[in-house]
Amino acid sequence: MKPDATTIDIYNSKANDYTNLSKDADQDIRLENFAKALPAKARVLDYGCGPGTSAAYFADQGMVTHAFDASKEMVKLTSRHPLVKVWQAGFHEFNEVDTYDGVWASFSLLHAPRSDIEGLLVAIHKSLKVGGKFCLSVKLGKGEARDTLGRLYTYYEHKELERLLRATKFTWENHFNGSGKGLDGTISKWISVFAHA
Ligand SMILES: C[S@@+](CC[C@H](N)C(=O)[O-])C[C@H]1O[C@@H](n2cnc3c(N)ncnc32)[C@H](O)[C@@H]1O
Residue 69 in contact with ligand 1 by CB distance below 6 A = yes
Distance 129 CA to ligand 1 centre (A): 23
What pTM did the predictor assign?
Answer: 0.98
Distance 182 CA to ligand 1 centre (A): 13
Task: Supply the mean pLDDT for the chain.
Answer: 97
Mean pLDDT of 20-35: 90
For residue 26, pLDDT over 80 is answered with no
Please report the pLDDT score of residue 118 as a whole number.
98
Please answer whether residues 127 and 97 qualify as being in contact, where contact means their C-beta atoms are separated by less than 8 angstroms: yes
Please report the pLDDT score of residue 126 as a whole number.
98
What's at 126, amino acid-wise?
A: K
Please answer whether residues 54 and 25 qualify as being in contact, where contact means their C-beta atoms are separated by less than 8 angstroms: yes
Q: Name the DSSP class of 14.
A: T
Distance 40 CA to ligand 1 centre (A): 27
The pLDDT confidence band at residue 17, using thresholds 50, 70 and 90, is very high
Residue 7 in contact with ligand 1 by CB distance below 6 A = yes
| Tens of pLDDT, residues 120-165 | 999 999 999 999 999 999 999 999 999 999 999 999 999 999 999 9
For 48-170, where are the E strands, in sequence order?
64-69, 84-88, 100-106, 128-139, 144-146, 152-154
Domains and their CATH numbers in the chain: 5-196 (3.40.50.150)
